[in-house]
Amino acid sequence: MCRTFISSLVASALALAGGAQAAGQAVCRPRLTVTGVQSSEMIPPTLERKWTATVMVDASRCMANASGYFDLGITRLKENGYDVDFRVKLIWRAPSVKIGVDFWADEAVERYWIENVTSCVCAE
């Protein structure tokens, strides 16, 4: 019983010490904006189309050479099927990132959004 109490006390102290270190660094988030959205013509022989865009990254609040992940959410329309929401995990890096997603000939992008942007260490 005493060993369990001491072990949990030591584990709690270590957790608090680690949390204090993490709290010492300020956390920022870059600002991501989708621009230059295009859909290509159908590409033979598969008849696929490529949806492309540029994600502009304003990481001016982050330390130099910062990068991280973000999710691009897309609502896909299908001519003879259900609309589907899905997400693609991508990497952000300043100043911009070119992205592309393949679709079949009978599919199109209805809308898109950015979510779950990882934070970066703030520039001081």
User: Looking up tokens 């703030």, which residue turns up?
Assistant: 122
Class of the CATH domain delimited by 26-121: mainly beta
pLDDT of residue 21: 39
Secondary structure string (H, E, C) spanning 37-96: EEECCCECCCCEEEEEEEEEEECCCECCCCEEEEEEEEEEEECCCCCEEEEEEEEEECCE
Two tokens, residue 75: 């609502």
The closest alpha carbon to 39, from 101, 112, 82, 114, belongs to 101
What Cα–Cα distance (Å) separates residue 39 from each residue in 26, 56, 99, 100? 39, 18, 12, 9
- Per run of 10 residues, the mean pLDDT along the chain (length 124 residues) is 46 45 71 95 90 96 92 95 95 95 93 95 84
Q: pLDDT value at position 24?
A: 58
Check residue 22 and give its pLDDT. 47
